[in-house]
Structures are given as C-alpha cells and as structure tokens.
Amino acid sequence: MRITAKIDYAVRACVELAVAYDEGFVTAERVGKAQGIPGSFLLGILNQLRRSGLVESRRGADGGFHLAADPARIAVADVIRAIDGPLANIAGVQPEDTSYAPSAAALQQTWVALRVAMRSVLEQVTIADIASGELPDDVARLVGDSEAWVTRPFGDEVELRGGGEAEHRG
C-alpha cells in the first residue's frame, strides 16, 4: 500500500484537531503550522474531510475546523477512505470483483487477504490513539517486532525455499 502525502497530511490534520478537540474550532493555519502542512494543500484536505462528514467547519472570528465526532470513534481507515476511497482496489475494481485466468486465480484471494490485513490495523487504530501515543496492543506488538522496521529493497537476493518457491532475503 502506498501512503500518499495527501493521506499522511489528512491523518496528521485529524490528529491535530484531536489534540484541540475540547477547545472547539481550530484554524487551518494553526493545524498547518503545528504539523508542517502547506496551507493551500491543507485547506483542500480539510474541505474533503468536511464533505465526507469527518470534520465540521465554521466561518467567522471563532471559526475554523473541528472533528465531527469524538477522536476515539474515528479510525485511520475512515480518514483514508474519505481522501482516497476504498482501502484496496485493483485498477478501480474491488478485490472481490476481479477475475483472473486459472493460473492466476489465487491472486484474487491474495488481494482480499491484503485488504483484511490492512483493515486489521487501520480500522483498529483511532485518531485518539495516535494523538495519545498509545496504540492498541495488537498494533504495538506488530511494531515491536524488529523485522517490522526493516525495508526490503527490490531486487534483493532471492533464494528458493525447500519446495522450490522463491523466498526474498533482506
């Protein structure tokens, strides 16, 4: 999954709104400055989040932006869907709606499994979790594994597993 700058900025903007949730409406300038998000880009993101119902806005001296729900009720997956649509699609098609030649039929199941794996993290972690720095135990366990922090570059040495299947090393 590729996390675009727009998704990263949207989640960070929601986290900043979560930090100020009890204060009421917050200006886009404050959010942008706190998170290092370019102003004009941020306004478009906040308006997209508003159209999706995740953020409210108000004009005037006391205006700005505010999360439309308690941050503990907004999952990272909700923000991603508001900005980018479904978590997993293949050329604009949902994984369950794909079809392949018999030799690649298991690819559909692979894409569905990938969506399940993404949901298991992104639907569990809320904006409040990120704002508090306290991730759910299941997610904390995942990032506690040292292998989680290792990037495997493309073209790494490939070894064959016992049954002749390729296994990537690195």
Number of domains making up the chain: 1
Residue 153 in any domain: the answer is no
Position 158 scores a pLDDT of 55
Residue 163 in any domain: the answer is no
Residue 144 in any domain: the answer is yes
**pLDDT tens across 24-71, in order?**
999 999 999 999 999 889 999 999 999 999 999 999 888 999 999 999
For the chain, residues with pLDDT lower than 70 are 155-170
Reading the block at residue 79, the tokens are 């923000």
Residue 141 in any domain: the answer is yes
Q: What is the domain range of residue 11?
A: 5-148
Position 160 scores a pLDDT of 54
Which burial class, exposed, middle or buried, applies to 46 when counting CB atoms under 10 A from its CB (0-12, 13-18, 19+)?
Answer: buried
Residue 154 in any domain: the answer is no
Quote the pTM value: 0.85
Residue 157 in any domain: the answer is no
Residue 90 in any domain: the answer is yes
In this structure, how many other beta carbons lie within 10 angstroms of the beta carbon of residue 17?
Answer: 28
- The CATH number of the domain holding residue 58 is 1.10.10.10
Reading the block at residue 25, the tokens are 């409406």
**Three-class SS state of 161:** coil
Residue 53 in any domain: the answer is yes
Position 152 scores a pLDDT of 83
**Three-class SS state of 127:** helix
